[in-house]
Amino acid sequence: MRIFILVALIFSGNIFAQDINQMFSQVQQAVRDAGSAPQPGCPHCLSDTRLKKYPLPETPSTFNVKCRNFIKSDGTFGDWGKMIVTYINKTEERQKRYYNPALPGMQSAPHTCPNWGNMDYNEKAQFWVWTFASIAHVESSCDNRSVNTGSVPNPNDRPRGLFQLNTLKSTRSWRGPNCKFPSGAENVYNPANNIHCSLDIMDELLKGRSGEYQSNGKIFPTNSYWEKLRPNHSSTGGKIGQLIRMFPGCKLQ
């Protein structure tokens, strides 16, 4: 009888210990998810009290100096970076997609951002600004007046601007509400038009199979508008992927 009671106590003690460990793990995760206090009207946004700042590398061979319009040399957002964060935080649906703790391809193949699950929303906002700076650097050297002067299917529809978007409205309007701005070179050169349309494109990519691109929900490799992020170009995002992986917040501690 005494042996039975002793065994029962040990067994129940093990269960109790497991419950305590599980509860402790859940509390830790809740703390990581919570970060600092949410801002009113933006449930997934955090205050700036704990904001870590990650300046782009200073060497021109890494990021063109014009990319400082996304992230300044002190790590704060430039005008283009502010546009990106404002867009993401405008609706809760966008926040859920862009800040999704289980975003495909981050901690799974191709392991774009191994520390993604431990990052707070401030760091994730920084990540997205860094990511768009990386795409723009490769596509246009962050020059909003860049134009593809090479061989293209339609010379009247040359890719232009920061993210090399179509000149003609008719060939890009389906990509998102912010892609419906009028045709014409000057309209495509406009940073706000180019950035907001590109954010719509990324938003559709993050929707996965339910989005316009029928993608896998990853930044890359996927059925992307940008050729360099497609599977047939590189399984790791090529030069863009290399730049994105340089984001300091993605490194495991």
Based on the fold, state whether residues 107 and 232 are members of the same structural domain: yes
H-helix or E-strand spanning residue 39:
strand 38-39
Q: How far apart are alpha carbons 173 and 187 in whole angstroms?
A: 13
Indicate the number of domains in the chain: 2
DSSP helix/strand/coil, 31? helix
Based on the fold, state whether residues 89 and 23 are members of the same structural domain: no
Based on the fold, state whether residues 53 and 4 are members of the same structural domain: no
Based on the fold, state whether residues 26 and 117 are members of the same structural domain: no
Based on the fold, state whether residues 7 and 122 are members of the same structural domain: no
Residue 59 pLDDT: 81
Based on the fold, state whether residues 67 and 97 are members of the same structural domain: yes
Structure tokens at 32: 């990581």
Based on the fold, state whether residues 23 and 132 are members of the same structural domain: no
Residue 184 pLDDT: 98
Residue 15 pLDDT: 43
Query: Do residues 190 and 198 make contact, with C-beta atoms less than 8 angstroms apart?
Result: no
Query: Do residues 104 and 238 make contact, with C-beta atoms less than 8 angstroms apart?
Result: no
- Name the amino acid, one letter, at 31: V
Residues 6+ apart with CB under 8 A from 200: 175, 176, 177, 178, 179
List the domain range (segments joined by +) for residue 203.
39-250
Based on the fold, state whether residues 91 and 190 are members of the same structural domain: yes
Query: Do residues 169 and 163 make contact, with C-beta atoms less than 8 angstroms apart?
Result: no
Buried b (16+ CB within 10 A) or exposed e, 173-184: bebbebbebebe
Query: Do residues 58 and 47 make contact, with C-beta atoms less than 8 angstroms apart?
Result: no
Based on the fold, state whether residues 28 and 59 are members of the same structural domain: no
Based on the fold, state whether residues 148 and 79 are members of the same structural domain: yes
Q: Which parts of 182-222 fold into alpha helices (H)?
A: 185-189, 191-206
Q: How far apart are alpha carbons 137 and 244 in whole angstroms?
A: 11
Based on the fold, state whether residues 121 and 181 are members of the same structural domain: yes
93 secondary structure, DSSP code: H
Based on the fold, state whether residues 143 and 169 are members of the same structural domain: yes
Q: How far apart are alpha carbons 100 and 33 in whole angstroms?
A: 11
Tell me the average confidence (pLDDT) per consecutive run of 10 residues in the chain, 253 residues long: 43 44 41 36 46 84 94 95 97 97 96 96 96 98 97 96 98 98 98 98 97 96 96 96 96 86
Residue 150 pLDDT: 93
